[in-house]
Structure 1
Amino acid sequence: MWPVLWTAVRTYAPYVTFPVAFVVGAVGYHLEWFIRGKEPQPVEEEKSISERREDRKLDELLGKDHTQVVSLKDKLEFAPKAVLNRNRPEKN
């Protein structure tokens, strides 16, 4: 008789354990909220990293005077030499 019983338990185990686990989970969930006592406060959504970066860049742009720019000649003087021309002798 024991082998037949163990075979039946092993065969129908998923059909028995799922409802038991569901009931235990539901009871635990409601018990936890009963112990806590209050409803959860809605969590404010945080801004994503890209949104914070865009906001920071906009704040930086607001503080600058866009009419004052560096001339192209000044920019070209400080431009690094190309990597491929680094070992070539300078032409005078």
Structure 2
Amino acid sequence: MWPVVWTAVRTYAPYVTFPVAFVVGAVGYHLEWFVRGTPKMKEETSILELREERKLQEQVGTDGTQVLSLKEKLEFTPRAALNRNRPEKS
């Protein structure tokens, strides 16, 4: 009789273990929730949101229409990187 029982348990093991694991997981989840209590987490801001806020605070007192032209920005780049293939200015 025992070999028949073990063969049946081995054959139908996935059908038996999944519901048991589901019940154990659900009970453990609710038990942990009960022990810890209701979560009192505040909504955290992401790093991108903090960066955007910081950049907005930096721009509060500046005039957004006064920007450097591309030619002026190129003067601050290293000569070895961008001016390698350019003809020299006269």
Question: How many pairs were matched up?
Answer: 85
- Which ranges of structure 2 fall in alignment gaps of 5 or more residues? none
Runs of 4+ in 1 over 4 A off after TM superposition: 65-70
Task: Calculate the TM-score normalised by the size of structure 1.
Answer: 0.59
Give the letter aligned to residue 59 of structure 1: Q
Larger Rg: 1
Q: TM-score, normalised by structure 2?
A: 0.60
The percent identity for this pair of structures is: 61
Structure 2: how far apart are the matches of 1:46 and 1:91?
49
Q: Distance in 2 between matches of 1:2 and 1:60?
A: 78
**Over aligned residue pairs, what C-alpha RMSD do you find?**
3.5
Deviations 1:34-86 (A, max 9, x none): 323x311243141341x33322222222122557667x7x938x35462213x
Q: Please, which runs of 5 or more residues in structure 1 have no aligned partner?
A: none
User: Higher relative contact order at CA 8 Å, sep ≥6: structure 1 or structure 2?
Assistant: 1
Tell me what 1:53 maps to: 51
